[in-house]
Amino acid sequence: MSTPAPDPIPAPARPVVVLRPAPQRTDRIFTPAALGSLRDRFTVVDLEKDPSEEALEEVLPDAFAIVGQPDLPAQRLSRAGRLRALLNVEGNFFPNVDYATCFERGIHVLGCGPAYAPAVAEYALALALDLARGISREDRAFRAGRERYVSDGNADAVLLQGSDVGLVGFGNLGRGLNRLLAPFRPTIRVYDPWLPPGVLGEHGVLPASLDETLSRSRFVFVLATVTDESRHLIGERELHLLPDGARLVLVSRAPVVDYPALLSHVARGRLMAGIDVWPDEPVAPDDPARSLDGLVLSAHRAGGIPAAFETIGDMVLDDLTLIAQGLPPARMQTAARELVGRYRNRPVT
């Protein structure tokens, strides 16, 4: 006589959402109202105070969604039989997940990049205006008693209005910045090898090669993500293509630019640059960048503002609600099967 099969383990009454958001904090990305709604709709297991691997292993079999991006190799994913969504709330897709397994199993892999895009785009525009008019430089001079009045302080000033502008990359950041630049009526050239000319044309920008984008632009915004192909995409050869007096704004990923080469051009007075991301953070106290007047320096703060963080929590709540109803997510960025494994991002600390 055969032994009857055991009854299947019943699923929890409400889908289980695991919170392990580090380096984010739950109270930073969720307003009290949003967190309350999340707890009303789901069984929330908060691992923020105990982010250990053991605690995660214990809840994996019941997890419907994980908010965060812990290490998820194929073996660990095999123990997460009910997992339907992985929601990255840091801002980068890391190579610590077996994405192929996620896609094979229909697990939604989502990122919060769209939440940061408006803040970063505004900041990039602010850096460009500063570089155009020497705002922070002349502020420092004024405080030191070296101010120059009227036209004396404007010998290298230029207009953003009507300028030739180049965008290197046209993802969330590029599209957000393109909208902000519209009132300045620039000519915008875009280099993005992941997009066909038709897509760029629909946004009113000119598709261009990297060389053309650099050589014909007074302002260049570096907005590309980092992959093996884009590491040092802007190197010595490319920097030489920029016209004398060009302004370069870097707000995406540090490895895209050869920093020693860029600082050399700035030190010689050929280029100016606004930099928000650095190869090593925090920047060393004796880093030569600190002493260059042709730089506007920023400590990786373009996107991390309260409005962006709270948007992340709202996105998570909305998309989890949709997925639980059998609908596709609508607010967070869906990882592309063909691209997510190519990113070489580092965590932001």
Tell whether 126 and 77 lie within a shared domain.
Answer: no
Does the pLDDT at position 314 exceed 60? yes
Q: Taking residues 122-126, what's their average pLDDT?
A: 98
Tell whether 212 and 161 lie within a shared domain.
Answer: yes
CATH number at residue 64: 3.40.50.720
pLDDT value, residue 272: 98
How many structural domains comprise the chain?
A: 2
Does the pLDDT at position 11 exceed 70? no
pLDDT value, residue 94: 84
- Sequence-distant (≥ 6) Cβ neighbours of residue 139 within 8 angstroms: none
pLDDT value, residue 97: 93
Q: What is the DSSP string of 145-189?
A: T----GGGG-TT---STT-EEEEE--SHHHHHHHHHHGGG--EEE
- The domain in which residue 189 lies consists of 117-297
pLDDT value, residue 103: 95
> Would you say residue 68 lies in a domain?
yes
> What are the tens digits of pLDDT across the range 161-172?
999 999 999 999
Bigger pLDDT: 295 vs 231: 295
Tell whether 53 and 185 lie within a shared domain.
Answer: no
> Would you say residue 4 lies in a domain?
no
> Would you say residue 348 lies in a domain?
no
Does the pLDDT at position 52 exceed 80? yes
Tell whether 51 and 136 lie within a shared domain.
Answer: no
Q: Which residue has the tokens 């004024």?
A: 142
Least confident of 25-39, 292-306, 332-346: 332-346
pLDDT grade for 10, boundaries at 50, 70 and 90:
low
Least confident of 32-41, 91-100, 151-160, 297-306: 91-100
pTM value is 0.91
pLDDT value, residue 4: 53
pLDDT grade for 332, boundaries at 50, 70 and 90:
very high
Tell whether 137 and 280 lie within a shared domain.
Answer: yes
> Would you say residue 108 lies in a domain?
yes
pLDDT value, residue 345: 65
pLDDT grade for 292, boundaries at 50, 70 and 90:
very high
Tell whether 281 and 182 lie within a shared domain.
Answer: yes
| Integer angstrom CA distances of residue 104 from 21, 62, 332, 333 | 24, 19, 20, 19
pLDDT value, residue 229: 79
pLDDT value, residue 347: 59
Average pLDDT of the chain is: 93
